[in-house]
Amino acid sequence: MFTVEILCIGNELLSGITVNTNAHWISYQLTQAGGIVKRITVVGDDVSEISSAVKESIARRPEWLIVSGGLGPTHDDKTLLGVAIGIGVDLVLDKNAAEMLKKSYARRSKIYELNDIRLKMAKIPRDSTPIQNPVGTAPSVIICGTHDRANIVCLPGVPKEMEAIFLESILPEIKKTVGEFYVVESSFEVIGVSEAMLAPVLSKIIESNTLDRNYIKTHPLEYSSDNKPRLRVQIIAKGNDKHEVETRHNTVSCIIVQEIRMLKGKIISKR
Amino acid sequence: MFTVEILCIGNELLSGITVNTNAHWISYQLTQAGGIVKRITVVGDDVSEISSAVKESIARRPEWLIVSGGLGPTHDDKTLLGVAIGIGVDLVLDKNAAEMLKKSYARRSKIYELNDIRLKMAKIPRDSTPIQNPVGTAPSVIICGTHDRANIVCLPGVPKEMEAIFLESILPEIKKTVGEFYVVESSFEVIGVSEAMLAPVLSKIIESNTLDRNYIKTHPLEYSSDNKPRLRVQIIAKGNDKHEVETRHNTVSCIIVQEIRMLKGKIISKR
């Protein structure tokens, strides 16, 4: 398993204009691949905010830092400059990134040619590697980690572009470093049992050392019409050995279902 | 106007299980009330992660820190302990909070009585004020700021509970400190104009000093079926004087619409 931080950049994420679905999508993908997302940070389109967030993040020593948003050509696209300052390098016009931009614009109508404003997207942190954007124009960037610094990936903020690059070029790289990984997950809804009633048995399971790679969470839902508590219970087991993960998931599941029955709760949906 | 940070707590927000709609909802409410959300942070259900995030946040000196999630009775509800450590106080069993819990449980069927596990929700940071939860059980908490520390508000993570407490008890308090505030907003979709084409005029508007309280953002959308760029343009003006805000919004709007027409873009929807 490996640790990750996600940094999302954009004023629209801070003012309630846009729901941060990118952070959700990226964290799901990484969790399924064996990642532990330790923190998600959102800052605005401001160079010093971005560079501070990058510095703080790499100081916490995650293995990967995934940055999303702010790679475009406009006045408020400041991610690469912020990242460069954050890791102490300068921005340089990268020939390969410029070629990628030319290709992207060639896909479009001829009226959208590569001009100076657009060439800004080819100025990337020194010693980083640009990655072709298969959907939009702005290339992504990978900055390989050092012995004491995370690998840093900068992705566009437009979801379709971000998802395409992540699945094509980033996830395969990450998977190379972790190998096979399995996640078995189930969840069910319970009526008549509250979080507090289930708390003692969950504490016991969490405390027992054999269950390091299990995740159990209760989400209280609205009370039922006859004023009974409703709860969604989620059980997730993770690991590198498929059979072992399945067995572990089933064991934990059985203990919790038994307890719910003892408490006279009713399991109304399971998946 | 006032500065805010939002801190959301919950493993489910880091593993792609739950979309962070709370951060979106809170940031929208605060922005409409004249707040500037400077940063959103998400950490897991871990005392040291929470206390570190709180320390870091208050060191950046926002006027308000809004915390959401982790107030319940279960093993992974660690927010109040994390916040207490973050500001250097201890947790104390608060009589008023215990009364609030009793009231909440009295609303429910008698089988859910206040026991030791549930009483955990009445242990709040020293010198903080509990607020009745009108929907669920866990009280919220307000910790009044000092000369060099933000006001801190701890809200539940269940959206219906969080929203009810925020609208009933928190937003009125915040509004007292800022007075009337107006936001005028419009957005339109354009075909045939890219971000890069619009960038020069937007830079000019942003650079002109008179427009401090305007927010202009272009969001690239997917290309149209005939391969033309599509863009959503958002214009937001804010301030304390309604008439002045409306005039300012209209002026900026006119400049941008004129430029789009010059660039032969087509405005296809406006609201």
Residues of B in contact with A224 (CB under 8 A): none
What gap in Å lies between CA B31 and CA B25, rounded to an integer?
10
Q: Given pLDDT bands bounded at 50, 70 and 90, which one contains residue B209? A: very low
A41 to B38: CB separation less than 8 angstroms, yes or no: no
pLDDT surpassing 80 at residue B112:
no
Rounded to two decimals, the ipTM of the complex is 0.88
pLDDT surpassing 90 at residue B227:
no
DSSP-derived letter for residue B157 is S
A117 to B23: CB separation less than 8 angstroms, yes or no: no
**CB proximity list for B245: less than 8 A, separation 6 or greater:** B182, B183, B184, B213, B237, B238, B239
Q: How many Å lie between the alpha carbon of A56 and the closest alpha carbon of chain B?
A: 10
CA Rg value for chain A: 22
Distance of CA A59 to the CA centre of its chain: 19
**CB proximity list for B46: less than 8 A, separation 6 or greater:** B78, B82
User: Mean of the per-residue pLDDT values for chain A?
Assistant: 90
**CB proximity list for B258: less than 8 A, separation 6 or greater:** none
What gap in Å lies between CA A23 and CA B240, rounded to an integer?
34
User: Mean of the per-residue pLDDT values for chain B?
Assistant: 90
Give backbone dihedrals phi and psi of B150, rounded to 5 degrees, phi first: -60, 155
Residue of A nearest to B18 (CA): A24
Residue of B nearest to A34 (CA): B15
- Tokens of residue B166, six digits: 């925020």
pLDDT surpassing 60 at residue B37:
yes
Q: How many Å lie between the alpha carbon of B108 and the closest alpha carbon of chain A?
A: 6
Cβ contact A133:A139 at 8 Å: yes
Picking from A171, A163, A140, the residue whose alpha carbon sits closest to that of residue A153 is: A140
Task: Tell me what the mean pLDDT of segment B113-126 comes to.
Answer: 87
Cβ contact A2:A177 at 8 Å: yes
**Number of alpha carbons in the 13 Å side-chain half-sphere of residue A119:** 8
pLDDT surpassing 60 at residue B111:
no
Which comes out higher in pLDDT, residue A185 or A38?
A38
Residue of A nearest to B135 (CA): A222
Amino acid at site B106? A
Beta strands in chain B (DSSP E): 2-9, 35-43, 64-68, 91-93, 123-125, 129-131, 140-143, 151-155, 182-191, 214-221, 230-239, 266-270
What gap in Å lies between CA A201 and CA A225, rounded to an integer?
27
CA-to-CA separations, A91 to A9, A50, A73, A223, B205, in angstroms, rounded: 18, 15, 15, 55, 26
What gap in Å lies between CA A152 and CA A132, rounded to an integer?
16
A13 to B40: CB separation less than 8 angstroms, yes or no: yes
**Number of alpha carbons in the 13 Å side-chain half-sphere of residue B141:** 31
Q: Each residue of B46-73: pLDDT tens digit?
A: 999 999 999 999 999 999 999 999 998 8
Residue B90, Cβ density class (10 Å: 0-12 exposed, 13-18 middle, ≥19 buried):
exposed
DSSP-derived letter for residue B63 is S
- Predicted pLDDT at A109: 58
What gap in Å lies between CA B149 and CA B65, rounded to an integer?
9
Tell me whether A7 touches chain B (CB under 8 Å). no
CB atoms within 10 A of CB A149: 17
Chain B residues 209-228 with a CB less than 8 Å from chain A = 215, 217-220, 222-223, 227-228
Residue of B nearest to A224 (CA): B108
Q: Each residue of A186-227: pLDDT tens digit?
A: 999 999 998 888 888 888 877 764 445 778 888 888 788 888
Task: Tell me what the mean pLDDT of segment A220-235 comes to.
Answer: 86
Decide: helix, strand or coil at residue B94: coil
Picking from B231, B239, B241, B270, the residue whose alpha carbon sits closest to that of residue B253 is: B270
Picking from A45, A74, A114, A10, the residue whose alpha carbon sits closest to that of residue B199 is: A74
Picking from A181, A185, A182, A180, the residue whose alpha carbon sits closest to that of residue A250 is: A185
Taking each helix axis as running N to C, give the angle between helix B79-87 and helix B47-59, from 0 to 180 degrees, rounded to the nearest 10: 40
Rounded (5°) CA angle B101-B103-B105 = 70
What gap in Å lies between CA B18 and CA B33, rounded to an integer?
27
Q: Each residue of A31-89: pLDDT tens digit?
A: 999 999 999 999 999 999 999 999 999 999 999 999 999 998 887 899 999 999 999 99
Tell me whether A229 touches chain B (CB under 8 Å). yes
Q: How many Å lie between the alpha carbon of A127 and the closest alpha carbon of chain B?
A: 26
Cβ contact A74:A13 at 8 Å: no
- Predicted pLDDT at A209: 46
- Predicted pLDDT at B68: 98
Give backbone dihedrals phi and psi of A230, rounded to 5 degrees, phi first: -120, 145
CA Rg value for chain B: 22
* pTM value > 0.95: no
Cβ contact B169:B140 at 8 Å: yes
Q: What is the DSSP string of chain A?
A: -EEEEEEEE-HHHHTTSS--HHHHHHHHHHHHTTEEEEEEEEE-S-HHHHHHHHHHHHHT--SEEEEES--SSSTT--HHHHHHHHHT--EEE-HHHHHHHHHHHHHS-TTS---HHHHGGGEEETT-EEE--SSSSSPEEEE--BTTB-EEEEE-SSHHHHHHHIIIIIHHHHHHHH---EEEEEEEEEES--HHHHHHHHHHHHHSGGGTTEEEEEEEEPPPTTS--EEEEEEEEEES-HHHHHHHHHHHHHHHHHHHHHTT-EEEEE-
A53, A109, A199 member nearest B74 (Cβ): A199
Decide: helix, strand or coil at residue B222: coil
What gap in Å lies between CA B233 and CA B218, rounded to an integer?
5
